[in-house]
Amino acid sequence: MRLIRPDDPGTSTGTGGGFAPEKRVPFSTRQRRVPETRPMSNSITVLKFGSSILPVEAALPHAVHEIYRYVRQGHSVVAVVSAFAGETDRLLVHARRYGDSADASATAALTSLGEGQSVALLGLALDQAGIPMNILDSAGMGLRTLGPATDARPSGLDVENIKRALAQKPVLVVPGFIGRDDLGRITLLGRGGSDLTALFIAGQIGAQQCVLIKDVDGLYDKDPAEHTDAKRFERVTYEDVLGLPEGIVQHKAVRYARDIGLKFGVGGMGQRVATWVWDGKSAFGREPARVKPIKVALAGAGIVGRGVYDRIAALPQFFEIVKVCVRDVKKHAKSGIPEKLLTSDIDSLLSGPADVIVETLGGLHPAKELIGGALQRGKHVVTANKAVLAAEFDLFTGIRRQSGARLLYSSSVGGGVPIIEAVRAAARRGRIASVRGVVNGTTNFVLGLLAQGIDFAEAIRRAQVAGFAEPDPSADIDGSDAAAKACILAREAFGHPIFPNQVKRMGIGHLTPNHAAQAQAQGGAIRLVAHITCPRGMTHATVAPLILPSDDPLAQVHDEQNCCVITLEDGSRTVVTGRGAGRWPTAESITADLFELCRGEGAADEEEYIGEIAA
């Protein structure tokens, strides 16, 4: 790799400071050892989403939230998806227009289009949220079936292809009740087939868990809608489920799980898994599974803040928005936010009824005062503000130690890419040697345009139009945004504080299309790289544009994507990639933090975690 300094040939005068480069050796002459690469976790979770969870296209973000919940915990996810509500019946009726005895294979082929649509649209929704995914149809996953074309049963699966897809990207989306017979013709697994498909996949690939996401909060001994004394099972045996009226879970799916000894969960979206079905003993839950809505106040309704508002406003069963603080109340009232929620008085968020404040203002002030004041009053805070965290983390830690409030900041690095979670998971496996990352989506987007021959000013303008760059993009261009993120990652990786003025930093303001062309001629690409190490207990961090070889994971991310490579002292490494800038990826990460608060998860103090890593 090679540092691109402002005095390199063909440069224009730029901003961002600089530091002495390493010995300049062309990367192509270096012997490169490729270490073992592992995902954040070897755990695979199979999630099934039926039409009760996805009745219409507008409900797709609900599935995205649930999938991202497991992805940021380090799981690979297989999402098994049904058609939208009523779509399968509509297609079956359409097939019957050609006669009651219409060809079964043709009927199955037509009916499969419903799930093909929902699978594709969920893939697009995941991509919008910055979550990398693959899609496989029934042929791609090799789901083979036996029996009638419209009521078949699964008999085989291409396990290796599914695992290859999950090794490439953390999420795989597949249809729920579509298979292929021995001739490769499309078949349907009948009513309840999606439950059966999810359990069959989980059993075949050895998934660590399988959860059927329903519109209920678990399994009950009787219908809770008709019986006020109905009791929810926390754990229930296969036989007890088979003794209940068929409906929530199809009996053929339960019988399959029983026959292979597969434990599976049943629960509602956004909740803890409410009921586990297994071969042990049945037991009733002591507490209701459903969570109570939490009151949320939003500070800011710009690109990210408005995305958060739209996401959580669609989830009133979990979140109640009590206030939205903006500069221009009339402007945002016209945009669709109820005027009764709007205020320009930021202090009113502190005195109001909110349980949690979401801060998306950016910058040091008034974010510092708002976050500190909220924590002091015992209000939880969720923020994407890397600048204020890098500068004032110790201050906030001291306040929340006294108040017991929590500070969640997963979105501050990587947008929707769970970089912070990946660093924490790696640190629990062993000592981290280094963290390297492309952690600024705006600069990566700009560098991609430079590689296309577009000049710097126009590249910045396009980044602003796309919603990646702020009206004042200087923090991105001069590397200070990436430096702030490096400070946060240093704490997570090594437990030691480092501050922005201690990060050796060089920006990209001096780069031109000529630099990008030179890098391409050498078979590489320019990336703004944050690099954090901790030799002999002393944390070091740099941010600089480097020419990277094409086989470097950081060179393989494009547009607004982020990537982080975490290398342990044993040489193994974790790589996480996804969209790191824009409204929806960052809003998704903030929403995930809110769900964590809602479920009461992850309550261990982050200060204790960082202290444990430092020790």
Confidence tier at 6 by pLDDT (50, 70, 90): low
If you search the block for the tokens 């201690």, which residue do you land on?
502
The span from the CA of 288 to the CA of 234, in Å, is 10
What is residue 271's predicted lDDT score, i.e. its pLDDT? 84
For residues 143 and 270, membership in a common domain is answered with yes
State the chain's mean pLDDT as an integer: 89
In a domain, 97, yes or no: yes
CATH number at residue 405: 3.40.50.720
Question: Which 3 state secondary structure label does DSSP give 270?
Answer: coil
Asked which of 260, 284, 308 is the last residue of a domain, the reply is 284
Find out whether 491 and 427 touch, Cβ atoms under 8 Å: no
- Give the residue, 170 or 217, on which the prediction is more confident: 170
Question: Is the confidence at residue 605, as pLDDT, over 50?
Answer: no
Residue 101 domain boundaries = 44-284
For residues 335 and 446, membership in a common domain is answered with no
Confidence tier at 581 by pLDDT (50, 70, 90): confident
Rounded to the nearest 10°, the torsion over CA 522, 527, 528, 533 is -80
What is residue 162's predicted lDDT score, i.e. its pLDDT? 97
In a domain, 560, yes or no: yes
For residues 279 and 410, membership in a common domain is answered with no
For residues 451-456, give the mean pLDDT.
95
For residues 393 and 489, membership in a common domain is answered with no
Find out whether 584 and 416 touch, Cβ atoms under 8 Å: yes
What is residue 613's predicted lDDT score, i.e. its pLDDT? 41
For residues 17-46, give the mean pLDDT.
49
For residues 432-457, give the mean pLDDT.
96
- Convert the pLDDT of each residue in 301-313 to its tens digit: 998 999 999 999 9
What is residue 385's predicted lDDT score, i.e. its pLDDT? 95
Find out whether 201 and 162 touch, Cβ atoms under 8 Å: yes
For residues 62 and 180, membership in a common domain is answered with yes
- Convert the pLDDT of each residue in 181-240 to its tens digit: 999 999 999 887 899 999 999 999 999 999 999 988 889 998 888 888 889 999 999 999
Asked which of 264, 284, 304 is the last residue of a domain, the reply is 284
Confidence tier at 517 by pLDDT (50, 70, 90): very high
Catalytic-role residue among 48, 323, 386, 485:
485
Find out whether 421 and 594 touch, Cβ atoms under 8 Å: no
Burial of 203 (0-12, 13-18, 19+ CB in 10 A): buried
For residues 298 and 362, membership in a common domain is answered with yes
- Give the residue, 26 or 323, on which the prediction is more confident: 323
Residues composing the chain: 615
Asked which of 243, 265, 284 is the last residue of a domain, the reply is 284
Give the Cα-Cα-Cα angle 602, 604, 607 (nearest 5 degrees): 120
* Cis, peptide link before residue 21, omega less than 30° from 0: no
Cβ-based neighbours of 74, under 8 Å, separated by 6 or more: 39, 40, 41, 43, 418, 421, 422, 425
For residues 316 and 214, membership in a common domain is answered with no
What is residue 17's predicted lDDT score, i.e. its pLDDT? 45
In a domain, 14, yes or no: no
- Convert the pLDDT of each residue in 259-300 to its tens digit: 999 999 999 888 888 899 999 999 998 776 566 899 999 999
For residues 317 and 179, membership in a common domain is answered with no
For residues 212 and 123, membership in a common domain is answered with yes
For residues 499-528, give the mean pLDDT.
94
For residues 490 and 516, membership in a common domain is answered with yes
End-to-end Cα, the chain, rounded Å: 33
- Convert the pLDDT of each residue in 378-412 to its tens digit: 999 999 999 999 999 999 999 999 999 999 999 99
For residues 343 and 432, membership in a common domain is answered with no
For residues 98-118, give the mean pLDDT.
94
Find out whether 575 and 538 touch, Cβ atoms under 8 Å: no
In a domain, 488, yes or no: yes
In a domain, 585, yes or no: no
What is residue 12's predicted lDDT score, i.e. its pLDDT? 39
- Convert the pLDDT of each residue in 174-183 to its tens digit: 999 999 999 9
CATH number at residue 262: 3.40.1160.10
Q: Which of 338, 364, 360, 362 is nearest to 349 (CA)?
A: 360
Total structural domains within the chain: 3
Note if 163 is an active site residue: no
CATH number at residue 479: 3.30.360.10
Neighbours of 327 (CB within 10 A): 12
In a domain, 481, yes or no: yes
The span from the CA of 503 to the CA of 482, in Å, is 10
In a domain, 562, yes or no: yes
- Convert the pLDDT of each residue in 418-433 to its tens digit: 999 999 999 999 999 9
Q: Which of 293, 366, 291, 355 is nearest to 323 (CA)?
A: 355
The tokens for 118 are 């929902």
For residues 570-574, give the mean pLDDT.
93
The span from the CA of 167 to the CA of 14, in Å, is 40
Q: Which of 357, 415, 406 is nearest to 386 (CA)?
A: 415
In a domain, 24, yes or no: no
The span from the CA of 311 to the CA of 323, in Å, is 15
Query: Mind spelling out the 3-state secondary structure of 3-33?
Result: ECCCCCCCCCCCCCCCCCCCCCCCHHHCCCC
Burial 270-294 (b: 16+ CB within 10 A, else e): bbbbbbbbbeeebeebeeebbbeeb
For residues 145-172, give the mean pLDDT.
96
Q: What is the pTM of this model?
A: 0.89
Question: Is the confidence at residue 60, as pLDDT, over 90?
Answer: yes
For residues 445 and 481, membership in a common domain is answered with yes
If you search the block for the tokens 């998704």, which residue do you land on?
588
Find out whether 566 and 433 touch, Cβ atoms under 8 Å: no
For residues 53-62, give the mean pLDDT.
95
Tell me the C-alpha to C-alpha distance, in Å, between residue 429 and each of 423, 575, 604: 10, 15, 18
